[in-house]
Amino acid sequence: MATIQFKYNLIKESSFKFRLGELLSKNEKINTPNCILYTKNGGLVPHLIKKLEDNLLTRAKEPNLGVLIHLEDYFDKKYYKETLKSGLGEAINSKSPLLLVDLNDNKLIKNADEDLNTNNTGVSLSAHQGKLRVGADEYNEIINNWKPDIVIPLHDLLCSTTKIPSEKRANKSVRRNINWLNELLESDLKGSNLLGVLGGSIYYAERKRASEMLKEHQKHIKGYLISSLHGTPSQKGEQISQSLESLTPEYRDKPNFCFEMNTPEELLEGIVRGVDVFDSSYATQVANYGNALNLEFQPHGTFLQPIVSLNPEETDFSEDVETINEKCQCYTCKSKFSKAYIVHLLNTSEMLSTVLLTCHNLHNYIRFLSQIRESIKNGKFESDLKNFKKHYKNFNWHVYKKSPFMAAKQGTFS
């Protein structure tokens, strides 16, 4: 597998760990902190066709965002066993400068031990034909065929919304991760752009162990994936700090990826701790439940209501002819689709409802991250963060979970 040029430049770092950087891949630049696109079947953002996705990125002034692909979406498709001449990116017609492949979509996991059934032989995934098992050799073979720009090794993910794993279980996870990394380094993928997995759940000793065990492989590692987080946003942030602080200073100038911190509160907590790249799944989640985002990190006036529910079972915008946000430059708002029209679409279960909401929400989410970068650049991040937290101190960023209307009709990630 040929190595694609990949580089991370650290532009500005504060004593509080938050930083500005840029990812360079295929002669394109992605400014960080930022998100990569959360995609499902076909490598597209849920609900969007390619033309709309390209239009969205252009309007958001971020044409070069990376793409996150999950193996479980393709495992029983023709791509699985085929040797693709130019990789999966060309097969799905992705022009993204940064294609990442991970095994499982952690957004769909309620209990990792039950859902993934991981042991030393491999990890289970949910394919269209049911539960299938993937071992290290098979995973490495698939990745070698698919040729992603960044390789995430097979790893034991301890992701759960219902149960915190024991310390013994966390120890097994950390040791499996390093064993599977060793197997990968013995394969044809040795020269690839690898992410070292920093797991360990809530246990400092295990997070430190994960960092220590990666040190001998630093020459092969181009960045880190911080995983297996549990608890509140601040608790997850502390676990991120434990992982990164266990790395010696010479290893900290590499990009840090985390796909388990997605709400605005979690996003900011991750940025403060040094995370560079998140995924965009939150924008899709909110849209799926009939809600619109209005995030602002540096408001020019008063803070807006950050999540507006257009769900007809919760609020009444049925006669509101205004757009979601008159200042927004997204396709939905610039095309003058009113709140009343979107409510009508939701009420009749029209797919266009989630298309329009996804266009708006993802645009807003991307621009929110752009505002954060601008704040860091101008040296105002700490004061802006303080104001943001003060204003939204008691806000429930998981409000979409109270709106089962869209989930029941369209599926959380359809």
Binding residues for Zn(2+): 328, 330, 333, 360
256 beta partners: 224
Residue of 131, 94, 126 whose CA lies nearest to 107: 126
- State how far the Cα of 171 lies from the Cα of 213, in Å rounded to an integer: 12
Find how far residue 61's CA is from the centre of its chain: 19
HSE, CB side, 13 Å, CA atoms: give it for residue 310: 36
Query: What is the number of helices (H) and of strands (E) in the chain?
Result: 14, 15
Write b or e for each residue in 36-54: b if 16 or more Cβ atoms lie within 10 A of its Cβ, otherwise e: bbbbbeebbbbbbeeebbe
- State how far the Cα of 211 lies from the Cα of 328, in Å rounded to an integer: 42
How many Cβ atoms are within 10 Å of 234's Cβ, its own excluded? 12
Cis peptide before 33 (omega within 30 of 0): yes
Residue of 156, 360, 181 whose CA lies nearest to 368: 360
Instruction: Indicate the SS3 state at residue 341.
Output: helix
In the annotated binding site, the residues are 328, 330, 333, 360
Write b or e for each residue in 61-93: b if 16 or more Cβ atoms lie within 10 A of its Cβ, otherwise e: ebebbbbbbbbbbbbeeebeeeeeeebbbebbe
- State how far the Cα of 209 lies from the Cα of 88, in Å rounded to an integer: 34
- State how far the Cα of 180 lies from the Cα of 250, in Å rounded to an integer: 24
Instruction: Indicate the SS3 state at residue 225.
Output: strand
Instruction: List Cβ neighbours of 279 (8 Å cut-off, separation of 6 or more).
Output: 35, 36, 37, 38, 68, 259, 262
